[in-house]
């Protein structure tokens, strides 16, 4: 079920050198409980797009339908009620430094007129949910970056939103802390059935927690799809660059394989590209059983993307030419991509 639907949405700003089309004709459908990633270079229009989703900006034209409501038509109390149901977290956390952790989390409830006891009860539950049990009386500057973002997440969840928007929420964090915050987001996506729209310029963030991704360039979505598909088969140049950045330095693999061929000119070297979980092992053991070949693994690079294991396995096949040919033909009939790197003498 679609929870967010954008049709031909445009947002233009007047600029010194003419109009800036920050968002330039975007169609987007986000299903309930998606973790939808939006990736793009600086200036692509990502932040403008999420600000349109929570009503902080109004589009120049187009339709923004969220939970069946035309957001552009909301005003007054309706708009305030709508905003409560769309939480947001930011790169620099945007916490109030003079308030304790628990008081930060209570802020949206205060603004919504929730009474003190209820506020405290809810904030205490949220502290537990984000793994900050017992830290409610600390001040934000006593916390690590990861803990500050946990407070940001708890505060964003205070009004039980249906949608959580994340604008570069892990960009100020180190890799380990990023990992932990992403795990927390994945966890609340599952536990609370929350829909997440996440902006980043880092493809590893997309790979780790998103199921779908859209790539933005100059105000447009130039490519979109399931994360596992986009990683396996990127179409646009910009997407290829983003995907490439995230995969292990390919050059290392190329050097390694060239060296291997030099030392083992007689074997056949084949790279198998996998999309599915555990696709690798049965295919290889089947080939060994069916054909008179030996197989050794030379290089492997498997990663999780959108809930699937994708990656490559480079193997050496040793045996009579006819048997090796049969094994290669067999791989081609399986759900794997086959690339013959080197034929033995």
Ligand X SMILES: Nc1ncnc2c1ncn2[C@@H]1O[C@H](COP(=O)(O)OP(=O)(O)OP(=O)(O)O)[C@@H](O)[C@H]1O
Residue 13 vs 294, nearer CB to ligand X: 13
Cα separation values, 215 from 270, 321, 332, Å: 32, 45, 31
Residue 20 vs 107, nearer CB to ligand X: 20
Within a 10 A sphere around the Cβ of 20, how many other Cβ atoms? 17
192 class by beta-carbon count within 10 Å (0-12 exposed, 13-18 middle, 19+ buried): middle
Q: Among residues 16, 17, 18, 42, which is the contact residue for ligand X, using CB under 6 A? A: 42
Q: How far is the CB of 42 from ligand X (least distance, A)?
A: 3
Tell whether residue 40 is a contact of ligand X (CB under 6 A).
yes
Q: Among residues 22, 35, 154, 317, which is the contact residue for ligand X, using CB under 6 A? A: 22
What residues numbered 191-220 form the site for ligand X, per CB under 6 A? 201
Tell whether residue 311 is a contact of ligand X (CB under 6 A).
no
Q: How far is the CB of 50 from ligand X (least distance, A)?
A: 8
As a whole number of angstroms, the distance between CA 230 and CA 225 comes to 6
Residue 22 vs 238, nearer CB to ligand X: 22
CB 26 within 8 A of CB 177: no
Q: How far is the CB of 40 from ligand X (least distance, A)?
A: 5
Tell whether residue 20 is a contact of ligand X (CB under 6 A).
yes
CB 146 within 8 A of CB 180: yes
Residue 39 vs 287, nearer CB to ligand X: 39
Residue 44 vs 315, nearer CB to Mg ion: 44
What residues numbered 44-83 form the site for ligand X, per CB under 6 A? 44-48
Q: How far is the CB of 295 from ligand X (least distance, A)?
A: 45
Q: Among residues 5, 25, 43, 135, which is the contact residue for ligand X, using CB under 6 A? A: 43
SS (H, E, C) 85-135: CEEEEECCCCCCCCCCHHHHHHHHHHHCCCCHHHHHHHHHHHHHHCCCCCC
Tell whether residue 275 is a contact of ligand X (CB under 6 A).
no
Residue 22: contacted member of ligand X, Mg ion, none (CB under 5 to 8 Å, by partner type): ligand X
What residues numbered 114-173 form the site for ligand X, per CB under 6 A? none
Cα separation values, 297 from 159, 269, 289, 294, Å: 52, 10, 16, 10
As a whole number of angstroms, the distance between CA 157 and CA 123 comes to 9
Of 37-45, 144-152, 277-285, 324-332, the segment contacting ligand X by CB under 6 A is 37-45
Of 41-49, 115-123, 228-236, 294-302, the segment contacting ligand X by CB under 6 A is 41-49
Residue 196: contacted member of ligand X, Mg ion, none (CB under 5 to 8 Å, by partner type): none
Q: How far is the CB of 185 from ligand X (least distance, A)?
A: 19
SS (H, E, C) 173-233: CCHHHHHHHHHHHHHHHHHHCCEEEEEECCHHHHHHHCCEEEEEECCEEEEEEEHHHHHHC
DSSP 285-315: HHHHHHSSEEEEEEEEEEEEETTEEEEEEEE
Residue 119 vs 220, nearer CB to Mg ion: 220
Q: Site size for ligand X, by CB under 6 A?
A: 12
As a whole number of angstroms, the distance between CA 345 and CA 329 comes to 19
What are the structure tokens assigned to 278, written together?
């555990």
As a whole number of angstroms, the distance between CA 324 and CA 228 comes to 30
Tell whether residue 91 is a contact of ligand X (CB under 6 A).
no
Residues that bind Mg ion (CB under 5 A): 47
Q: How far is the CB of 43 from ligand X (least distance, A)?
A: 4
Residue 45: contacted member of Mg ion, ligand X, none (CB under 5 to 8 Å, by partner type): ligand X
DSSP assignment letter at 274: E
Residue 20: contacted member of ligand X, Mg ion, none (CB under 5 to 8 Å, by partner type): ligand X
3-state SS, residue 248: coil
Q: Are strands 268-274 and 220-226 parallel, antiparallel or unpaired?
A: unpaired
Residues that bind ligand X (CB under 6 A): 13, 20, 22, 40, 42-48, 201
């Amino acid at each position: 079920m679609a929870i967010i639907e954008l049709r031909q949405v445009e947002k233009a700003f007047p600029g010194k050198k003419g109009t800036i089309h920050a968002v330039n004709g975007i169609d987007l459908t986000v299903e309930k409980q998606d973790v939808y990633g939006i990736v793009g270079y600086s200036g692509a229009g990502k932040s403008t797009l999420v600000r349109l989703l929570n009503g902080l900006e109004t589009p120049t034209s187009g339709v923004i339908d969220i939970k069946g409501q035309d957001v552009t038509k909301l005003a007054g109390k309706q708009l305030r009620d709508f905003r409560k149901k769309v939480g947001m977290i930011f790169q620099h956390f945007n916490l109030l430094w003079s308030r304790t952790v628990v008081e930060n989390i209570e802020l949206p409830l205060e603004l919504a007129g929730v009474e003190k006891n209820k506020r405290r009860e809810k904030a205490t539950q949220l502290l537990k949910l984000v793994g900050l049990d017992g830290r409610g009386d600390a001040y934000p500057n006593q916390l690590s970056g990861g803990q500050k973002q946990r407070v940001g997440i708890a505060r964003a969840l205070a009004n039980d939103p249906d949608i959580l928007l994340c604008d570069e929420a892990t960009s100020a964090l180190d890799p380990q802390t990023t990992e932990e915050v992403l795990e927390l987001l994945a966890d609340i996506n599952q536990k609370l059935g929350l829909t997440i729209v996440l902006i980043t310029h880092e493809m590893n963030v997309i790979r780790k927690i998103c199921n779908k991704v859209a790539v933005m360039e100059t105000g447009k979505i130039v490519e979109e799809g399931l994360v596992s598909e986009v990683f396996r088969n990127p179409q646009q140049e910009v997407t290829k660059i983003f995907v490439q950045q995230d995969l292990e330095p390919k050059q290392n693999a190329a050097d390694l394989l060239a060296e291997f061929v030099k030392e083992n000119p007689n074997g056949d070297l084949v790279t198998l590209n996998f999309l599915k979980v555990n696709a690798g092992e049965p295919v290889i053991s089947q080939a060994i059983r069916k054909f008179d070949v030996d197989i050794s693994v030379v290089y492997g690079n498997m990663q999780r993307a959108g809930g699937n294991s994708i990656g490559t396995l480079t193997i050496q096949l040793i045996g009579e030419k006819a048997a090796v040919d049969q094994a290669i033909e067999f791989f081609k009939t399986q759900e794997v991509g086959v690339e013959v790197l080197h034929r033995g003498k």
